[in-house]
Amino acid sequence: MAADWTKDPDAVLDWRWDWTDWLADGETITASTMTVSAGLVLTRDFYSPTSAAAWLSGGTPGTPYLVANRIVTSVGHTDERSVTIRVTNR
């Protein structure tokens, strides 16, 4: 999941990582950790059996921030997906 997402510095939005296509039948997410570059604020994070989400706020316009989601599954698999959040005044 290499992607670029864009947010306004005043926005507080949830950003979702959908792991459905990666998970095997019957496999679920049992743990999720978000890592966020300094300058962007992780307000809240949570996960469901097939996805993870982070509420992000702040950031400086023109600055890219790396956000990574690392999961562990019910069968012991571990993986991580990162996205770049580009903060832009909208």
Nearest CA-CA partner of 87 in 69, 58, 53, 61: 61
Predicted pLDDT at 90: 86
| pLDDT at 43 exceeding the cut of 70 | yes
pTM of the model: 0.90
| pLDDT at 41 exceeding the cut of 90 | yes
CA distances from residue 30 to 46, 67, 76 in whole angstroms, order as listed:
11, 20, 9
Starting at the edge strand found earlier in the chain, the sheet holding 51-58 runs 13-18, 51-58, 40-47
| pLDDT at 18 exceeding the cut of 70 | yes
Q: Domains of the chain by range and CATH?
A: 3-87 (2.60.40.2310)
Predicted pLDDT at 2: 55
